[in-house]
Amino acid sequence: MSSGAHLLRPYEPADEDAVIRVWLASTIPGQSFLPERHWREMEDDIRRLLRPAEVWVVETDGAIRAFMAILDDLIGGLFTDPDHQSRGLGAALVEHARSLHNPLFVEVFEANERALTFYRRCGFEDHSTHLDAGSGLQQLILRMRD
């Protein structure tokens, strides 16, 4: 693959460790409103959630730099390696999800302003709210505009 080229492809079981590395590298600084220990304690849960999900990864130069997990019509997570953010990888994943799922929803912590800005820029609108059982924090459910 030429330098800088991006490959969007389906997740394979061999990708699990790389996906978890991206998840931790992105989540710990990006969702610092919860302590690092909270995220590290969730690693096994995230590994289990990957199995039933429809997962897509983005590779750059042979390394996974971003991924998205979809459960039914919900983006359950979209994470980009911090060194590769703001390069269109997340937007490419959202556009791919949009081509496959209608309606399409995403769940975001209200405190995660950067993610909310990103999803709204991609075309999502506020739909509903609820409290996250694990953290007690407010989450917004956004729906992709038709």
CA nearest neighbour of 129 among 121, 119, 120, 137: 137
β-pair partners for 67: 57, 79
CA 82 to chain centre: 13
Alpha-carbon separation of residue 27 from 1, 32, 60, 79, 146 (angstroms):
28, 8, 20, 8, 29
Which domains does the chain show, CATH number per domain? 6-103 (3.40.630.30)
Chain segment 65-107, per-residue pLDDT in tens: 999 999 999 999 999 999 999 999 999 999 999 999 999 999 9
Torsion of Cα atoms, 97 then 100 then 102 then 103, to 10°: -30
Residue range 102-145, pLDDT digits in tens: 999 999 999 999 999 999 999 999 999 999 888 888 999 999 99
Distance CA 63, CA 19 (A): 10
Answering whether pTM is above 0.85, one says: yes
| Exposed / middle / buried, residue 90 (Cβ in 10 Å: 0-12, 13-18, 19+) | buried
- With b for 16 or more beta-carbon neighbours within 10 A and e for fewer, the 55-65 pattern comes to bbbbbbeeebb
